[in-house]
Amino acid sequence: EVQPVESGGDLVPPGGSLRLSCAASGFTFSREWMTWVRQAPGMGLEWVANINPDGSDIYYLDSVKGRFTISRDNAKNSLFLQMDSLRIEDTAVYYCARDSRGGVFDFWGQGTLVTVAS
Amino acid sequence: DIQMTQSPSLLSASVGDRVTITCRASQSISNRLAWYQQRPGKAPKLLIYKASSLEGGVPSRFSGSGSGTEFSLTISSLQPDDLATYYCQEYSTGILKTFGQGTKVEIK
């Protein structure tokens, strides 16, 4: 069964840092694009960043460029999101998902909650 | 950037009703549109991709149509299990992926 599992969410103060992880299983991780999508409390879905199979092609939402870094370790079937200079508006559940067929998110993790507050 | 607009924002219908949700793109996206279902407290689930292709394991009462800028998701006979928020998402540019604001489906 394809099942991404996120971890690393926490309560952090504004300006702080956090690193999210996503452990993938059930598919050949090293061959797939992966993505992060977030959902602020009571709000809709917002794509954050994605990365190609070998990590050489990366894209970000404008509002997180320069603050967030997506990366992967194919040997460990893991995806990461390093979040620096966190803002209150970054508060959300962060989902990792497989990004297939040119931009379709076909398998999602259960999400991890990031709360930015003082 | 492409904007995606869904309507209605809230839909209330009875079990067995046929319901349709509309998604409009601010510019042509060909058929590069997906639909997701998000049940309360759960992660989103892919229903439809390429505007009208049903994802494996998704009940056949769900269907999608449209191309260019106008798209729709139809549930042919609403079931209690369909209580959820539905999102459209474009993937035409290969870079930014934009979601609609969501349509909450309630059961009367």
Q: Please answer yes or no on whether A45 and B96 come within 8 Å at the CB atom.
A: no
Which residue in A44, A107, A109 is closest to B87 by CB distance? A44
| Chain B residues 50-69 with CB within 8 Å of chain A | 50, 55
Amino acid A47: pLDDT: 97
**In this structure, are strands B84-90 and A112-116 parallel, antiparallel, or unpaired?**
unpaired
Amino acid A1: pLDDT: 85
Confidence of residue B96 (pLDDT cuts 50, 70, 90): confident
* B6-20 pLDDT tens trace: 999 999 999 999 999
Q: CB contact, 8 Å: B39 with chain A?
A: no
The 3-state DSSP class for residue A30 equals: helix
Are the CB atoms for A57 and A51 separated by under 8 Å? yes
* B25-81 pLDDT tens trace: 999 999 999 999 999 999 999 999 999 999 999 999 999 999 999 999 999 999 999
Residue (of A29, A47, A33) closest to A94 by Cα position: A47
The 3-state DSSP class for residue A31 equals: helix
Name the closest residue on chain B to residue A95, using Cα atoms. Answer: B43
Which residues touch A82 (CB under 8 Å, ≥6 apart)?
A17, A19, A68, A69, A70, A71
Which chain A residues are within 8 Å of B101, Cβ to Cβ? 44
Q: Please answer yes or no on whether B44 and A106 come within 8 Å at the CB atom.
A: no
Q: Averaged over A2-19, what is the pLDDT?
A: 96
Percent above pLDDT 90 for chain B: 95
Which residue in A59, A95, A102 is closest to B43 by CB distance? A95
